Chain A
Amino acid sequence: MNHGLRRRLPVALAAVIVLGFLGLFFAWPVAAIVGLGLRGEAGAVLVEPSTWRLVGFTLGQAAASTAVALLAGLPLAYVLARLAVPGRGLLRVAVTVPFVLPTIVVGMAFRALFGADAGVLAIVLANAFFNVAVVARTVSGLWSHLDRRMEDAARSLGASRLRAFTSVTLPALLPALGSAASVVFLFSATSFGVVLVLGGGELRTLETEIYLRTVQLLDLPGAAALSLLQLAAVVAALLVATVARRRRETALRLRAPSDTARRPQGAEWWVVGLAGLVLCGLGTPIVTLLLRSVSTRDGWGLAGYRALLGTGQNGTLEVTGLEAALNSVRTAVDATWMALLFGLLASFVLVAIRRRAVAESLDLALMLPLGVSAVTVGFGYLITLGSLPGDLRTSPLLVPFAQALVVTPLVIRMVLPVLRAIDERLRQAAATLGAGPWRVRREIDVPLAARTVLAAAGFGFVIALGEFGATGFLARPDAPTLPVAIARLLGRPGELNSQLAYAACTLLMIVTVLGVVLIERLRGRTDAVEEF
């Protein structure tokens, strides 16, 4: 076997696996359901002025949510990446918690905080609340590897702290910022529960309209037209992000994180203060939920928590709250390893592809699952997966598959900037010193990417834990995840059901914290490997 083939074969194999998964569980179902709709009079929807108001509102609220999430996430990312302050590990965990909370519950918490008519502001803040974690984690991932000496050099040449930040650090961070922004934009543009609860049926986005037309009205032509519109908007947003990233994903001088964190000095305390404020903002809805879980009609009580061992008032659930938690963990573990498998394979392919246009198209395709309505994918499954052997539509594996589809783009977005940022000269230097190609990978790429991969795994696990869009459509009653159980409990009258729902929320937070702590500890241990 010649050298070139041996190099290309694994890439080709990985590409086939990734594209096969994407094609089977995303492209085919979506194309089938949209195609079914297009046989009707889909065009009519596009000429209605209300449709274009929907598009405007969808993009506008997503852009605003992204801006708020970026502003709130940056101070957190800075503290996480750069500063050695006590409780940093705790901060990393705390920031992640909002991401898993069920949208219906957060929607109701914001509805309680802002009043029912808060409308757009509440939607924007709630979307940002969910997504601050994406910004903080994605950006701090790259930031903690940036060589601090560049900035110090700029400072010693007379640049102000701000100038050093804007001319040295910010450009280096742009790939991660672009990645985070595009993910947050996609999550916000397609957020469903938040808009439904806080928009009160009055404020609508493409996503909620697609849901209504598909699920309630069976207006497939209308839904198909809106799905295509949403797809177009998402592709446009992704193209903008790609162009913004294009020249900036360059080789950086990456360092092991332990070199770059130090005690805050001077103006950095302001950043710490800002991060604290953001944390308080994130904490408010969480504390509201915690209080709700221990308040009963007759004062404080733990009835909801005791009820976790049961199945709700008159057996609303088929399993106990604890069993639902176990299901959540199990499903999320499956979703995580699937997403890591596909995400790492995809990142590997994306790095290996030399032609930029090809790499960018593939990258964009891999992001699309975040931008397409879970209803469209779910209903697509109904008409496609039935024709596969073993009827996957009713398989317990379908839920982790669908979750992995959501998690994979995030894994790619976290891992790719780090892989791309690895200076080729490091690899060349290793090769010059006599290392074979595998040795180079092992000594250079793996140590530098390992932390980020683990971080992506942790975050992916957390996303899967809290995922409700696809899960809500696909979960089986005898194996509900916690978010599914919570939604079900809130859909029934009875004091015990609602207390149990909020206690289950707390349990979800605890499981999340445990998961993140575990990953953090693993990440900590990789330090030894990173002494290169």
Chain B
Amino acid sequence: MNRYLRWVAALAVASLTTGCSLIGSSGPEPAARTVTLVAHDSFVADPAVLADFERRSGIHLEVRNSGDAGELTNKLVLSRAAPLGDVAYGVDSTFASRALGAGVFAPHRSAAAERGPQRYAQDQEQRLTAIDVADVCLNIDTGWFAQHRVPEPATLRDLTDPRYRGLIALPDPTTSSPGLAFLLGTVAAFGDPGWQDYWRDLTANDVKLSAGWEEAYNQDFSGATGQGPRPIVLSYASSPAAEVDETGRPRTRALLDTCYRQVEYAGVLAGAKDPQAAGEVVDFLLSPEFQAQVPDQMYVYPAVDGVALPPGWAESAPLPQDPAELPAAEVERNRDRWVEQWRTLVRG
């Protein structure tokens, strides 16, 4: 054997035997029934609630994060011939039509869907079950407005007022999913093509665009840790619950009349290895235990009626009463055109 090869082999053996390698450290054997849950990146659940479900059902739950709602949907569409798992969670109302059109999901009817989720149903067969709702809304730094004696804005129209010139930070709709939701919100509010005039006025009012929510919120927004220069930012209705001072009072507030609703769905994947167990997992996502921990873990609202919100949410992060929404099919039909028009309009 060649000297190099021997050297290389010795190296490989050495690193394998150090026990520092993944191959060297395989985990414990999973339970007899394993369900793989493919979820968006924001999926987090209370480990105790998951463990309790696994014990009661005898199902071992494997969670795989797979990007944001759009990325997840596209991955599911591409891999439908050999699905990535058994259940998917996180396809939202913006992308639901794409997933349903591609035949990614199989029908599954959860009993608990009657108590709320049903109203967000996308099709008769209930291939997608609503698990939670999230509202993309403008957030403001209330301290800034008090300090500068500027009245707080309330509506989308207010933002084009010269008073709020240079105060707004938004993520780009073409590169960010909350940004896209905001664009859809303006379409819902001002109609097509009325939204284009609105954006002309908004752009003239010096909004600062960034590629993602991360930069807009962490760097441009004055109400977050980064303490940037701008007191108005696009985020979620629930974000103020994370921005509380020492006394537990929120430093920021969501403008509830500027919200666009995103419903997040779960569904059994067509071609799942164990559809029965996969259905049990969807039922679990609608269970009171799971629904109750959804706000604290993911900053979204439970889809099932009558689930109590965490203490403080009523004050800091109330659910918007009348958020804007567009039918999923309409979004699917027009999304690319709107985004392209927005790009020409704002980016020139």
Contacts and interface: CB of A to CB of B under 8 A. Distances in A.
Nearest to A391: B82
B82 A314 contact: no
Interface in A193-211: 196-197, 199-202, 208
Interface residues of A, number: 73
B210 interface: yes
Contact of B215 (A108, A202, A396, A478): A108
Given A201-B174, A212-B175, A215-B67, A330 B21 contact: yes
A379 interface: yes
A212 B211 CA distance: 11
A493 B224 contact: yes
A215 B71 contact: yes
A400 B21 CA distance: 10
A217 B84 CA distance: 20
A394 B84 contact: yes
B175 A196 contact: yes
Contacts of B297: 314-315
B314 interface: no
B292 interface: no
Interface stretch (A85-93, A167-175, A268-276, A332-340): A332-340
Interface string A324-336: 0000011101101
A478 B46 CA distance: 13
A445 B82 contact: no
A341 B12 contact: yes
Nearest to B246: A298
Contact of A445 (B3, B21, B77): B3
Interface string A497-511: 111000000000000
Given A200-B172, A212-B174, A488-B41, A337 B11 contact: yes
B225 A498 contact: yes
B44 A318 contact: yes
Contact of A315 (B36, B44, B225): B44
A436 to B, nearest CB: 11
A116 B218 contact: no
A220 to B, nearest CB: 8
Interface in A148-204: 196-197, 199-202
Contacts of A261: none
A315 B242 CA distance: 12
Given A116-B220, A215-B71, A492-B242, A201 B211 contact: yes
A161 B84 CA distance: 62
B174 A491 contact: no
A139 B163 CA distance: 56
A475 B63 CA distance: 11
B208 interface: yes
Nearest to A457: B11
Given A215-B71, A382-B84, A108 B8 contact: no
B78 A493 contact: no
Contacts of A63: none
Given A330-B22, A386-B82, A313 B174 contact: no
B33 to A, nearest CB: 17
B242 A494 contact: yes
B231 interface: no
Given A10-B1, A10-B5, A116-B220, A218 B243 contact: no
A495 to B, nearest CB: 4
Contacts of A475: 65
A14 B5 contact: yes
Contacts of B12: 337, 341
A344 B175 CA distance: 40
A396 B175 CA distance: 29
B299 interface: yes
Given A438-B3, A490-B214, A216 B79 contact: no
Interface in B306-348: 336, 339, 347
Contact of B225 (A14, A200, A387, A495): A495
Interface residues of B, number: 74
A446 B218 contact: no
A426 interface: no
A57 interface: no
Contact of A386 (B79, B172, B236, B239): B79
Interface in B168-223: 172, 174-176, 208-215, 217-220
Main secondary structure of the interface of A (DSSP, over half): helix
Contacts of B85: 394
B103 interface: no
Contacts of B7: 344, 446
A242 interface: no
A477 interface: yes
A316 interface: yes
A201 B8 contact: no
B225 A499 contact: yes
Which one of A217, A314, A340, A446 has the highest number of Cβ atoms from chain B below 10 Å of its Cβ? A314
B218 A202 contact: no
A217 to B, nearest CB: 6
B75 to A, nearest CB: 6
A214 interface: yes
A329 B11 CA distance: 17
B111 interface: no
A334 B20 CA distance: 8
B235 interface: yes
Contacts of B25: 330
Contact of A218 (B22, B62, B98): B98
B32 interface: no
B347 to A, nearest CB: 6
A104 interface: yes
A108 B81 CA distance: 39
Nearest to B208: A116
B57 interface: no
B296 interface: yes
A431 to B, nearest CB: 15
A473 interface: yes
Nearest to A214: B74
A345 interface: yes
B5 to A, nearest CB: 6
Interface string B12-35: 100110101111010000000000
B58 interface: no
B2 A10 contact: yes
A197 B216 CA distance: 10
B212 A333 contact: no
B43 interface: yes
A196 B98 CA distance: 26
Point out which of B7, B39, B213, B243 has the most chain A C-beta atoms below 10 A from its C-beta: B7
A197 B212 CA distance: 7
A497 B5 CA distance: 46
23 contacts: A104-B214, A116-B210, A116-B215, A116-B220, A196-B211, A200-B172, A201-B175, A218-B77, A315-B46, A318-B47, A330-B20, A333-B15, A333-B20, A336-B15, A348-B2, A348-B4, A383-B79, A475-B65, A478-B63, A491-B41, A494-B242, A495-B224, A498-B224
Given A10-B2, A386-B84, A394-B84, 9 more contacts: A108-B214, A116-B210, A219-B336, A296-B225, A333-B18, A333-B20, A382-B79, A490-B214, A498-B224
